[in-house]
Structure 1
Amino acid sequence: MQSTTGSEPFRQDDLIVRPVATRTPGVHALLAALHRYGFDAAPHPAGYDEVWERVTYLPGDTGDLDGHAAMRGEMALRSAASLLRRYHDCSALFAKSLAASYAWQLPARSPCEVICHGDFAPYNVVLNDGEVSGIIDFEAAHPGPRIWDLAYAVYRWAPLSSGVAIKGMDTLAAQVGRTRIFIDAYGLSVNERSTLLDVVVERLEALLVFMEREAARGIERYRRNLQEGHDRIYKEDIAYIRKCSTEIVAGLTG
Structure 2
Amino acid sequence: MVYEVLPSGQSHPGRLVRIGERVHRPTGAYSAAVHGFLLHLERTGFAGAPRFHGLDGEGREILDYVQGEVPRPPVPGWAATDEALESVARLLRRLHDASEGYVPEADAPQHEPPPPATWSGTLVGHNDLVPDNVVFRDGSAVAFIDFDLCAPVDPLWDVAVALRHWLPIRDEADLEPAHLGTVPGHRFALFCAAYGLADEDRPRLLDAMLDCCVYADGFVRFHAGRGVPAWVTAMAEGRCERHQRSARWLHRNRDALLGGSG
Assess same fold via TM > 0.5.
yes
**Quick check: 1:58 aligned with 2:66?**
yes
Name the counterpart of 2:180: 170
Could you tell me which runs of 5 or more consecutive residues in structure 1 were left unpaired when the two chains were aligned: none
User: Following TM superposition, by how much is the alpha carbon of 1:99 offset from its aligned partner in structure 2, in angstroms?
Assistant: 6.0
Name the counterpart of 2:25: 18
**Quick check: 1:76 aligned with 2:84?**
yes
The 10-residue stretch of structure 1 (63-72 or 123-132) with the greater mean CA deviation from structure 2: 63-72
Could you tell me which runs of 5 or more consecutive residues in structure 2 were left unpaired when the two chains were aligned: none
Aligned pairs for 1:180-191 within 5 A: 180-191=189-200
**Quick check: 1:130 aligned with 2:139?**
yes
The amino acid across from 1:43 in the alignment is: P
Give the count of matched residue pairs.
248
**Quick check: 1:88 aligned with 2:99?**
no
**Quick check: 1:149 aligned with 2:155?**
no
Q: CA RMSD in A?
A: 2.3
Residue pair 1:99, 1:115 contacting (<8 A) in 2 also: no
The amino acid across from 2:31 in the alignment is: T
Aligned pairs for 1:100-249 within 5 A: 100-106=106-112, 107=114, 109=117, 110-162=119-171, 163-167=174-178, 169-171=179-181, 174-249=183-258
- Give the fraction of aligned pairs with identical amino acids, expressed as a percent: 27
User: Following TM superposition, by how much is the alpha carbon of 1:65 offset from its aligned partner in structure 2, in angstroms?
Assistant: 6.9
Residue pair 1:105, 1:142 contacting (<8 A) in 2 also: yes
From 33, 38, 42, give the equivalent of 2:40. Answer: 33
The amino acid across from 1:7 in the alignment is: H
Structure 1 SS opposite 2:63 = strand
Structure 1 Cα separation of the partners of residues 59 and 184 of structure 2: 42
Cα gap change, 1:67/1:212 in structure 2, threshold over 3 Å: closer, same or farther?
closer
Q: Deviations over 1:110-168 (max 9, x none)?
A: 5423211011122211111121111111112111010001001111111121121425x
Structure 1 Cα separation of the partners of residues 47 and 140 of structure 2: 15
Q: Deviations over 1:206-232 (max 9, x none)?
A: 222222112111211211111121111
Structure 1 Cα separation of the partners of residues 74 and 183 of structure 2: 15
Residue pair 1:23, 1:103 contacting (<8 A) in 2 also: yes
User: Following TM superposition, by how much is the alpha carbon of 1:101 offset from its aligned partner in structure 2, in angstroms?
Assistant: 4.1
Cα gap change, 1:161/1:149 in structure 2, threshold over 3 Å: closer, same or farther?
same
Structure 2 Cα separation of the partners of residues 170 and 242 of structure 1: 20
The amino acid across from 2:162 in the alignment is: A
